[in-house]
Amino acid sequence: MPQRVVLALENLLFAFIVAALVSTSGAVPSTDPGDRARRFTLAIEFDFVSWTVNAAYVKLGQSALDTPFHFDEAARHRLVVDYLRLMENILWDEYNLRLAYTDPSILDPESASAGWRADLASLYARQRQLAPLAESVLQEQVSAVLADLGLTTGGQPVPPVAFHISPLPYNLIISPRDKIRQDASISLLPDLTVDRATALEAEVAAALDVSTLVVPVGGIGSYPTMVMRTTSLDWLAEVVAHEWIHNWLTLRPLGFNYSTTPELRTMNETAASIAGTEISLLVLERYYPELYAERSRSMAAAGAIRTVSLPLGPVGVGGLPRLPFDFRAEMHTTRVRVDELLAAGKIVEAEAYMEQRRQLFWDNGYPIRKLNQAYFAFYGAYADAPGGAAGEDPVGPAVRALREQSGSLAEFLKTIAAMNSFQQLQDALAK
C-alpha cells in the first residue's frame, strides 16, 4: 500500500476525534446557556460527522493518487489560478441568479434565469473536477512552507495539511448581557437564511436573557479543515494555514485547553491569525510571485491610508472635508466604552450605545447587522492587529509581543503552544 495512503488512513482517526469534539462543543465547552439554547437549534445544527466522512473520503482519494506530483510547477500554478477564476465565475452567476428572483421588475424569474442556471450547471461540473486538484496543490505548497519554517516532524506536517472547500456553517454566539464573554457557540446549517437567523437570535435572547448573534466563519478547524469559497488566493492560503495551526495546537497544551478560559481562546485565535498571515505571504512569495507583489503593494497602501492625517473624502458636516473613517480605531473606541458601561452595571445604556455606533458604521460603509455583546465576544478573540473589537483586552497585545521577541515563527508557536494559562504568557514576557 503506498505510504501516502497509509498516512491518510492513520489520520482518519484524528479526523473523527476532531469531528466529535467540534460537534459536541462547537469549539466551546458545553455550558448552561448552550444547553438551553439547543432546544431552539437542534433541528438546524450542522452535522460535523457526516461532513467529515465525505471530506475524509475525498482526501483519501487524493492521497492515493498523489495528485500534485503528476504536474510540474507551472501546471500546479495554473491549476490553482484556473480554479480561482472558475470560482469567480460561479459566484458571479450565483449572484445574478439570486438577483433574478429579487428584482421586482422581473415577472418570470424562472425564464429570466434559465441562462444563469444552465451556465452554473456547467461551471459546477467543472468545479467538481478542478477543486480536488487545486486543493491538493495548495496543501502540498503550504506543507513545503511549513517544512521550511521548521514546523514539521521528519519533514512532514503532523497532522498533514488537509482542507476541503465547501459552504460553511454559521455559528450562534451567546454572551451574557452584563459582560462580554463567549459562553456558547453552536454551529448551524450553511443555508440558514438571514430572516431565520434573526428570528433565532431573538428567540434565544428572550428565553435566556442573553446577547446572541449568528455569525459567518471563514474556516473551521475540523479535520480536514473547512474553508469557505473564495476568489482570493492570499486569503485562501491564510485560512488554510490558520486552521492547520489549530489542528497542530490541538496536540499541545494551548490547543487542548482552547475553551478552558476566554484568555486561552484569544491566545489560540491570535496565534493562529498571526501564523496564518505569515505563512500565506510565504506561499505567495514562493509559488505566486505576481500575487505576492500585488499583496505587498496593497498592504503598503493600507498602511499609508491608516497613517494619513490630511482631510480626505467627501464633504462632511458644515461643508468641512470628511476625515478617513478608521474602522479598527472606531471599533476599539466602541468596545472600550461598552466595557466601561457594563462594568458600571449600565446594561441598557451599553446596548443603546452599541446601536448608535452600529448606525455610525453603517453611515460609513460598514453594514454591521447587529452590534452587541455577542459580536465583541466573537470578534474580540482575533487580536492579531492593534485596535478593533478586542478593546483594551491585554491578551492580544501580549501574544503579539511574544511574536516580536521570538526569533522565528516556529519559536513563537512552539513557545506559546506549551502554555495553558495567560499567566504563563505574562511570565514569558517578563523574563
| Residue 335 is assigned to a structural domain of this protein | yes
Q: Cβ contacts of residue 96 below 8 Å, gap of 6+?
A: 113, 116
32 grid coordinates: 448552561
Is the link from the previous residue into 367 a cis peptide, with omega within 30 of 0?
no
| Residue 273 is assigned to a structural domain of this protein | no
| Residue 385 is assigned to a structural domain of this protein | yes
CA distance 61 to 63: 5
The predicted pLDDT at position 9 comes to: 45
DSSP state of 225: E
Question: Considering its fold, how many domains does the chain have in total?
Answer: 1
Burial of 382 (0-12, 13-18, 19+ CB in 10 A): middle
The predicted pLDDT at position 169 comes to: 94
| Residue 148 is assigned to a structural domain of this protein | no
The predicted pLDDT at position 6 comes to: 43
Burial of 43 (0-12, 13-18, 19+ CB in 10 A): exposed
| Residue 95 is assigned to a structural domain of this protein | no
Structural domain range at position 400: 296-430
| Residue 246 is assigned to a structural domain of this protein | no
pTM summary value: 0.84
CA distance 243 to 264: 16
| Residue 20 is assigned to a structural domain of this protein | no
| Residue 205 is assigned to a structural domain of this protein | no
The predicted pLDDT at position 318 comes to: 46
Q: Is the dihedral of CA 396, 398, 400, 406 positive or negative?
A: negative
CA distance 173 to 342: 19
Residue whose C-alpha cell reads 466602541 in the numeric block: 334
pLDDT tens column, 148-164: 999 999 889 999 999 99
- Partnered with residue 175 across adjacent β-strands are 211
Phi, psi of 396 (to 5 degrees): -55, -50
**Tens of pLDDT, residue by residue, the chain (431 residues):** 444 544 544 555 555 455 444 544 434 444 478 788 999 999 999 998 888 888 877 777 666 656 566 778 899 999 999 999 999 999 999 988 888 887 878 888 888 889 889 999 999 999 988 998 999 999 999 999 999 999 999 889 999 999 999 889 999 999 999 999 999 999 999 999 888 999 999 999 999 999 999 999 989 988 889 999 999 999 999 999 999 999 999 999 999 999 999 999 999 999 999 999 999 999 999 999 988 877 776 666 555 433 333 333 344 444 445 568 999 999 999 999 999 999 999 999 999 999 999 999 999 999 999 999 999 999 999 999 999 999 999 999 999 999 999 999 999 999 999 999 999 999 999 98
Composition of the chain by helix, strand, coil, percent to 5? 65, 5, 25
**Could you tell me the CA-to-CA distances from 49 to 9, 12, 288, 419, 423 in Å, in that order?**
17, 12, 35, 30, 35
The predicted pLDDT at position 52 comes to: 86
The predicted pLDDT at position 55 comes to: 81
pLDDT tens column, 385-422: 999 999 999 999 999 999 999 999 999 999 999 999 99
Q: Are strands 170-175 and 211-215 parallel, antiparallel or unpaired?
A: antiparallel
Residue whose C-alpha cell reads 476566554 in the numeric block: 262
Q: Are 59 and 225 in contact (CB under 8 A)?
A: no
